[in-house]
Copies of this chain bind each other. A is one copy, B any other.
Amino acid sequence: MLTEFSIVPLGVGSSLSGKLAIVLKIIDESGLPYKVNPMGTVIEGEWEETMELIKKCRDELMKHEERVLINIKIDDRKFKTNAIDEKIASVEKKLGKSLKK
């Protein structure tokens, strides 16, 4: 199961990088395969471990925030592993060229 998520605390002003660093440290230490992009983080894992990780990020931010917004987008496909690498590779193969990542 592939999951992209982003989390934004409200009320901290327009610079978020310090808060995002806290979240990305948790993700990086989780051991789940992940890829950061400028709008969110894609992780690969089963439902329970994925939701537990997102909850951990939210709980950590909520220690110091009054309100957070979270976006979660899931692509859940039976019998599919290593989708985090293969999904783009499969498109690139069809295109016959490399894409910017």
Contacts and interface: CB of A to CB of B under 8 A. Distances in A.
Most chain B Cβ neighbours within 10 Å, of A36, A37, A38, A62: A38
Size class of the contact patch on chain A:
35 or more
A60 B56 CA distance: 26
Given A24-B95, A39-B42, 9 more contacts: A2-B38, A4-B38, A10-B12, A17-B91, A35-B100, A36-B91, A37-B42, A67-B77, A69-B74
Interface of A: 2, 4, 6, 8, 10-14, 16-18, 20-21, 24-25, 28, 33-40, 42, 47, 51, 55, 58, 62, 66-78, 83-85, 87-88, 90-91, 93-95, 97, 99-101
